[in-house]
Chains A and B, each alone.
Chain A
Amino acid sequence: MIHHVMGNDGTYPLLIALWLLPLLGAILCWGFGPWLKARAGWLASALVGASFVLAVLSWGAGTQSVGGTLGAHQSLLSWIPGFDFGLLLDPLALLWVFVITGVGALIHLYSIGYMDGDAAFARFFAYMNFFVFAMLTLVLSDNFVGLLIGWGLVGLASYFLIGFWFFKPSAVAAARKAFVLNVVGDVGIMFAIFLIVANVHSIGFGDAFAAAGSYATPTLFLICLGLFVGAAAKSAQVPLHTWLPDAMEGPTPVSALIHAATMVTAGVYLIARCAPLWSVNADAQMLVGTIGGLTALLGAILGCAQWDIKRILAYSTMSQIGYMIMGVGVGAYEGGVAHFFTHAFFKAQLFLGSGLIIHALANEQDIRRMGGLAKKLPYAFVVMLVGVLAICGTPGFSAFFSKDMIIYGTLQHGHPWLYAVGILTAGLTAYYMLRLLFVTFLGSYRGAVDPSDLGIRHPELAGLPSDGDPAPQDATAHHHAPAWIMNLPVGILIVPSIFAGWLMFGGANSPWAHFFAGQFPVPNVVVPPISEGATSAIVFACVLVGAAVAAARYASKGALADAVARLRSESVRMPALLSNRFYFDAAIDALCVRSAQLAGTFFGRVADPHVIDGTVREAAISARWMGTLMRSLQTGLLRAYALILVFGAACFIVYYALAGGR
């Protein structure tokens, strides 16, 4: 049995506390919810905050490098004989822990205001804390099975929180869809684990990566493929992405924490963690890079065709994760991970900002029924403006640095097509995000306009109040939490949304590069014909074009004056391909869901009763046809048959009993 540890051998018990504090919160909020009442929110936030403090204290341990191994390690227990569990904190895990607990604590705080008055307030925080615990399990595990357990548990937390309002049929359906599609990912990882265990007889990262060079190439590709199926399902990559837009049925803070900042980036983490495997298999890199690029582009295109504010953000999340996957897929690990870091801030901010709007407009989510909100909700406008500027990659804002690292990285690693896709997607991103901003905040308020004049044909499908978050409606009956409790966390997020990218400034001498020194395999890069500065300029030019188109369509004087008619005509004339989301849902439904149901119906209604059971009863049925002679036998057939059996067995036993007695 190989015993290879990633992270310096030794103990670091602080990790256990860091990991288990949110679980403690979940148990307390779940067990003592009725007694804790509103205090549940503060307790849950405080425990996640405490984990964050411990993470900061662990900076030194996580980044230490002794004898070529990075980070700290803590053994936990023997899972099954020969396979051990432990916790590993290295720079990669530390980065995720920072975001999970830091952004997580802010979103917990925000939720105290957002969920105020909900009948299941404590249950909400129990699930949220459980999610944080599960996500920490995922990123702190030092082996594949521990990672898979975390992987499954975050899926469970996501299921609970998407279906939090379990009396809404749409939320229930969305929760089930998300869970089942994520299980597709789980079994992909399971398959990879079988291959790894068969090859190295260990589940530890250290053993699996130490042997990276010794796998047969097809085996290694299959391992990477299995892992990537997991990553694709969790990170909403084509064609397993269809659950993410539906997941917006959950409360908005859930969308911010789970379906934007943390859980959906687990696929990026997995590939970055398994960089030693990917960097020696060009086919796997090609596959993951291509799927990532495709997802970035498709997400951006679909983002242009949505009207629900949260669904626009959901498609934008899908698109941005496509960037990250493309980055870590082609080998630009630091870039892909950097974009995770900046995205966590600005996307959480955008979601929480949209939550401010939804909260203020009594659960309206359709941007066609907004408009002119810049004056009504100036704080939300500032928040959303900074978020939009950040995501578009405006120079100086965070995504400018991280996105360029990925786009330039694709060229460095020899993928010019992905480079083009990255640039094009940047332009589309500017277009649909500014469309969101302009339609929501400029012009005049359209909340009183008849929905059909805006082209809303199915109000029940378009995110009208009946379909929105029901929590704040309850809140009006009770007291309101102070406004600062929602405004403060969003305000804090503005700072890293703008400045986090500066950590990546300076190429090989940047703080970012120093932080990750020794973490990732050093790839062979080519010196591309286009310099990094030129790339930034091209991307920014593309962003300006997208912004100009959006401004012409939604922010020009004519457009604002004629907003109602224009929105109506855009809704009505939406190409079927876009309004059906490229038919992915329909295809999965027809190929997988319907066919399995059809098979089940056939087996259950035809094969079981008539074919298999029918053969058994054939004697009785043929007897009926053969007339009176057999009819008498048939009436008592079952009984007679059983009697013969009993009698025969009795004779048999008696005979041997007597024979033995002699």
Chain B
Amino acid sequence: MRLRGDVNVLAPIAILLPLVAGALLFVLPDDPRLGKIYGTLVAFATLVVVLLARHADWSVRWLARPFTAAFHVGPTPIGWWLALLLGLCTLCAVAATNLPRQRSFVAQLLLLEGTMIGLFFARDLLLFAFFWDAMLIPVFFVLLGWGSHPATAWRYFIYNFAGGLLLLFATAAFGVIYGSTDVIGQSGAPLIGAWAPWIFAGFALAFLVKTPVWPLHTWMPATYADAPSPLVAVVSAVQSKAGLYGFLVIGLAYLPTYVARFAPELVVLGAISLLYGATVALVQPDTKRVVAYSSLSHLGLIAIAIATRNPLALQGALVYIVAHGLFSTALFLILGYVEEREGTRSLIRLGGLGHANPRLTGAFTIAALAALGLPGLAGFVGEIVILSGVYQAGWTWAVIVALIAIVLASAYMLRLLQDAMNGPVVDDLPVRRDLTWIEGLAVAPLLIALLAIGIQPHAIMAAIAGAVR
């Protein structure tokens, strides 16, 4: 084992800390308060380690034949931003957790965090593929243990594992042809040869299932509706970005000609996702499904941005990845609060909660406004920069589709907000107390970050401009 300096060891620590701490939690006494406090502390420590591990780079040899592979971990610039987002979202999600069998749930969240940090820190493609499959397991067990339909868990697993298998095959083929899988974040030559299009297809399908992009999305609304909100928050905010991250660090870096060749198809799929998700969100009665379909719509926009390969669009995509992570976490956590209080997710039954819950309404309002792209909040920055780049790349029709989707977004987000919080008080809904301090603190960092990025995006844009190069 060779270590390269002190900082570098932070990379494996960032991965192992939540994994080990999460596993350890299973053997601790089953006390809900203990689980939450322990989990919050671990999540906070992990966030700090990720923050410090920006330039860490740690490697151990793994395989020599049939291709070289290494346990090589250390964040790429983009991966670091995503890991940071993950750390923040997990911290907020753990703090917002209030479930039966809380200790085990928190443990699963920590395991999920560890595997996903592994994914974003992996510099080796084989390791990437390993973590890609590993991060399905905690979600699968949570869906089985806390969801209401086991079928949802299986559907999630089969879809994503099928994608994972494709990724594994593509990775193996990549390794055999390229000679090494220790490639992520390194400026290697692009992959060429007769097998390259097939390898690209394998990667692309895996990434498109994970994102998801229409028509591979049908596992997603059921999963998001069925799983407990804190888990959905992390899955929608960060796990869904794994595919987009893959497109950036593998697709654009090693298979750029195929991204370019299939750009029209990718843009069309992204555009369909944009409109399809937005129109379905317009009529869904289930609050979490509204946000699930809105995610389909928003991530379609990022897929378009990546497909165009325009530098401005890519910078915008990264800002939007962060923004979407923040507001979808906030929305799911808040919808979780609403569900806990009222025992329903149906917009037909909900209404008038604003009277007794002004703080909940305020938090919900900020999150919904960020999601609909209000100028001055983070979502707007991402949208306008992406679309400016997409226009410059010559995809005018895709820009117009996206603009229509923005109008639809304002309609479905206001519907979600108003149908739940505004209107006369509904008599048969229980009146609960407003957000507690803990609940408020759990979403406050997300809302503050949305505001800060919206007002002064220069810092993140400057940092990201370097990552895109």
Q: List residues of chain A with CB under 8 Å of any chain B CB.
A: 77-81, 145, 148-153, 156, 163, 166-167, 169, 172, 175-176, 179-180, 183-184, 186-187, 190-191, 193-195, 197-198, 596-597, 599-601, 603-604, 608-609, 612-613, 616, 638-639, 641-642, 645-646, 648-649, 652-653, 656-657, 659-662
Q: Which chain B positions have C-beta within 8 A of A609? A: 218
Indicate which residue in B62, B157, B404 contacts A660 across the interface (CB closer than 8 Å). B62
CA distance in complex: A78, B215 (Å)? 40
* B281 CB-CB contact with A under 8 Å: yes
Check A642–B158 contact: CB distance below 8 A. Answer: yes
Q: Name the CB-closest residue of B to A604.
A: B280
Please report which residues of chain B, range 150-201, place their CB below 8 angstroms from some CB of chain A when the two chains form the complex.
151, 154-155, 157-158, 161-162, 164-165, 168, 172
CA distance in complex: A156, B392 (Å)? 30
- Given A81-B461, A600-B279, A600-B282, A152 and B172 contact (CB-CB distance below 8 Å): no
How does the 8 Å CB contact mask read for B450-469 relative to A, with 1 for contact and 0 for none? 00000011100110010000
Please report which residues of chain B, range 56-83, place their CB below 8 angstroms from some CB of chain A when the two chains form the complex.
62-66, 69
Check A172–B410 contact: CB distance below 8 A. Answer: no
Q: Which chain B positions have C-beta within 8 A of A649? A: 133, 161, 164-165, 168
Q: Which chain A positions have C-beta within 8 A of B403? A: 187, 190-191
Indicate which residue in A152, A180, A659 contacts B407 across the interface (CB closer than 8 Å). A180
Check A81–B462 contact: CB distance below 8 A. Answer: yes
Q: Which chain B positions have C-beta within 8 A of A194? A: 387-388, 391-392, 399
Q: Which chain B positions have C-beta within 8 A of A149? A: 375-376, 380
Check A176–B63 contact: CB distance below 8 A. Answer: no
CA distance in complex: A138, B461 (Å)? 24
Check A190–B384 contact: CB distance below 8 A. Answer: yes
CA distance in complex: A536, B388 (Å)? 48
CA distance in complex: A660, B457 (Å)? 46
Min distance, Cβ A98 to any Cβ of chain B, angstroms: 25
Min distance, Cβ A375 to any Cβ of chain B, angstroms: 39
- Dominant SS at the B interface? helix
* B283 CB-CB contact with A under 8 Å: yes
Size bracket, chain B contacts: 35 or more
How does the 8 Å CB contact mask read for B255-287 relative to A, with 1 for contact and 0 for none? 000000000000000000000100111111000
Q: Which chain A positions have C-beta within 8 A of B445? A: none
Q: Name the CB-closest residue of B to A169.
A: B423
* B354 CB-CB contact with A under 8 Å: yes
Q: Name the CB-closest residue of B to A120.
A: B358
Q: Which chain B positions have C-beta within 8 A of A603? A: 276, 279-280
Check A596–B408 contact: CB distance below 8 A. Answer: yes
* B130 CB-CB contact with A under 8 Å: yes
Q: Which chain B positions have C-beta within 8 A of A166? A: 354, 421-423
CA distance in complex: A96, B157 (Å)? 59
CA distance in complex: A612, B279 (Å)? 16
Q: Which chain B positions have C-beta within 8 A of A172? A: 418, 422-423
List 6 additional contacts besides A180-B407, A603-B276; criterion CB under 8 Å: A77-B458, A80-B461, A172-B422, A599-B279, A612-B218, A642-B154
Q: Name the CB-closest residue of A to B418.
A: A172
Q: Which chain A positions have C-beta within 8 A of B385? A: 80
Q: Which chain A positions have C-beta within 8 A of B380? A: 149, 152
Q: Name the CB-closest residue of B to A152.
A: B375
Check B282–A597 contact: CB distance below 8 A. Answer: yes
Q: Which chain A positions have C-beta within 8 A of B64? A: 660
Check B391–A608 contact: CB distance below 8 A. Answer: no
Min distance, Cβ B457 to any Cβ of chain A, angstroms: 5
Check A645–B161 contact: CB distance below 8 A. Answer: yes
Q: List 7 A-B contacts (CB under 8 A).
A: A596-B411, A597-B282, A600-B280, A612-B215, A645-B162, A649-B165, A660-B63
Q: Which chain A positions have C-beta within 8 A of B63? A: 656-657, 659-661
* B221 CB-CB contact with A under 8 Å: yes
Q: Which chain B positions have C-beta within 8 A of A184? A: 407
Min distance, Cβ B57 to any Cβ of chain A, angstroms: 22
Check B164–A642 contact: CB distance below 8 A. Answer: no
* B96 CB-CB contact with A under 8 Å: no
- Given A194-B387, A597-B282, A600-B280, A79 and B458 contact (CB-CB distance below 8 Å): yes
CA distance in complex: A78, B457 (Å)? 9
* B440 CB-CB contact with A under 8 Å: no
Indicate which residue in A145, A153, A198 contacts B384 across the interface (CB closer than 8 Å). A145
CA distance in complex: A642, B162 (Å)? 9
CA distance in complex: A648, B133 (Å)? 13
Check A596–B282 contact: CB distance below 8 A. Answer: yes
Q: Name the CB-closest residue of A to B279.
A: A600
Q: Which chain B positions have C-beta within 8 A of A152? A: 374-376, 380
Q: Which chain B positions have C-beta within 8 A of A77? A: 456, 458
Min distance, Cβ A247 to any Cβ of chain B, angstroms: 15
Min distance, Cβ A460 to any Cβ of chain B, angstroms: 14
Q: Which chain A positions have C-beta within 8 A of B215? A: 612
Indicate which residue in B375, B392, B410, B423 contacts A167 across the interface (CB closer than 8 Å). B423
CA distance in complex: A79, B454 (Å)? 10
Q: Name the CB-closest residue of B to A184.
A: B407
How does the 8 Å CB contact mask read for B373-387 relative to A, with 1 for contact and 0 for none? 011100011001101
Min distance, Cβ A652 to any Cβ of chain B, angstroms: 6
CA distance in complex: A80, B418 (Å)? 33
CA distance in complex: A600, B161 (Å)? 29
How does the 8 Å CB contact mask read for B295-316 relative to A, with 1 for contact and 0 for none? 0000000000000000000000
Q: Which chain B positions have C-beta within 8 A of A79? A: 457-458
Indicate which residue in B157, B399, B458 contacts A642 across the interface (CB closer than 8 Å). B157
Please report which residues of chain B, range 346-385, place their CB below 8 angstroms from some CB of chain A when the two chains form the complex.
352, 354-355, 369, 372, 374-376, 380-381, 384-385
Q: Name the CB-closest residue of A to B285.
A: A604
